[in-house]
Copies of this chain bind each other. A is one copy, B any other.
Amino acid sequence: MNKTNLDKLKVVVIGGGTGVAPVTSGLRHLGVDISTIISVSDSGGSTGRIRDEFGFQPVGDLRQSLAALAESDGEEWIRKLLLYRFEKGEGLKGHNLGNLILTALQDMTGSTSEALRRAEQVFRLEGEVIPATEQVVDLQIEYKDGTKAVGEHILDDNKNAKEIETVSLTPAAEINPYAKKAIAKADYIIIGPGDFYASLMAAIAPEGIKGAFKQTNAKIIFIMNLMTRLTQTKDMTAKDHLEEIEEKIGKKVDFVILNSEPIPENILSHYAKSGENPVINDLNKDPRLVKAKIISNQIFTKGYEDSTHRELLRHDSKKLQKVLSQIIGK
């Protein structure tokens, strides 16, 4: 399929800020119409501070998703501005400028969705970023041992590693009407990659998500995470991931993209120290499985000893673009 035909395709990407970024970057080069539906239950960090002080929805993941829409030449400084982080200044240190821009727009417009529309307009971004719900919510984690905890930041601490039963939003919140509309109109819906409970399951946690998926004829693509995460998906296989997503959206996924590229030993051992491993592929007999080499090589060169291992391994936007183009172009 050539670019002119792809132009007309509407693609929805669902997840959190970090995972969604390489997908949208890749999709931009396919010239499709992109809407990203982003989880808004993060807490802690710059986002958490702003959220607590202003009472607005947290904007960290939305900012990352916006920045991913400003990836082409000439938009370099827009992306740099959105992602800039203050390293000094009393009260400013640790804040992302993009978060402050979105907070100002939330304050002026009174709505996160409206703030994003204005940001897309001011920065001439092609594509739209939609908060999964318009309500201010927290992530509620239900563990298999029957206990519960509230706050997405809990999942950042490996001391809190317990098997998760499911997550929900508190207070219970409706799906954003803009998200519902985007899902209804989509030709393709891509879920993932991203933190499984903190981003993906959180983004499809709002009430009405099943109804929205029932309304759409879109083909659904699930991009499997590369690694498990101790606090969220320890010991979960590819099938475990897939089935939980399908249960939440009330529908079967049409394609599952899974990495087939070997992960270097040094990276593996680094993850293994935290009890984290490649997601085991138990879907080889599943006809929906699409195996592809999709690991970013850039990360390996980064001197990972200094950074947390969370930044070690990422999906590569160019490689994702290739496999997505094959699926969408079918």
Contact surface of A with B, Cβ cutoff 8 Å = 49-50, 53-54, 77-78, 80-81, 84, 86-92, 95, 97, 100-101, 103-105, 107-108, 118, 121-124
Which residue on B lies nearest to A124, using beta carbons? B124
Q: Please tell me which one of the listed residues B50, B78, B101 contacts residue A81 in the complex, with CB atoms under 8 A apart.
A: B101
Copies of this chain, count: 2
A81-B122, A123-B122 known; A92 vs B89 contact (CB < 8 Å)? no
Majority-rule SS of A interface residues = helix
Closest 8 pairs (CB-CB, A-B): A91-B91, A84-B104, A53-B89, A97-B104, A77-B118, A77-B122, A78-B122, A90-B91
Given contacts A78-B122, A122-B78, A122-B123, contact A108 B84 (CB under 8 A): yes
List the B residue with the shortest CB-CB distance to A70: B122
Asked if B123 and A88 sit within 8 Å, CB to CB, the answer is: no
**A104:B86 contact, CB within 8 angstroms:** yes
Which residue from B54, B81, B121, B123 sits with its C-beta under 8 Å from A89?
A: B54
Say whether A97 contacts B101, CB under 8 Å.
Answer: yes
Can you name 17 A-B pairs with beta carbons within 8 Å? A49-B89, A49-B90, A50-B89, A54-B88, A77-B122, A78-B122, A81-B105, A84-B107, A86-B100, A87-B107, A90-B91, A92-B92, A92-B95, A97-B100, A100-B100, A101-B101, A124-B124
Residues of B within 8 A of A118 (CB): 77
Closest to A86 in B: B104
Minimum CB distance partner of A118 in chain B: B77
Contact A53 B90 (CB under 8 A): yes
A47 smallest CB distance to B (angstroms): 13
Q: Roughly how many angstroms separate A145 CA and B63 CA in the complex, as a whole number?
A: 55
Q: Which B residues lie within 8 Å of A108 (CB)?
A: 80, 84
Given A53-B88, A91-B92, decide whether A77 and B123 contact each other with a Cβ distance below 8 A.
no
Query: How far does the alpha carbon of A91 sit from the alpha carbon of B54 in the complex, in Å?
Result: 13
Whether A104 lies near B122 (C-beta < 8 A) is no
A118 to chain B, nearest CB (A): 5
Tell me, in angstroms, the Cα distance from A84 to B86 when the chains sit together. 18
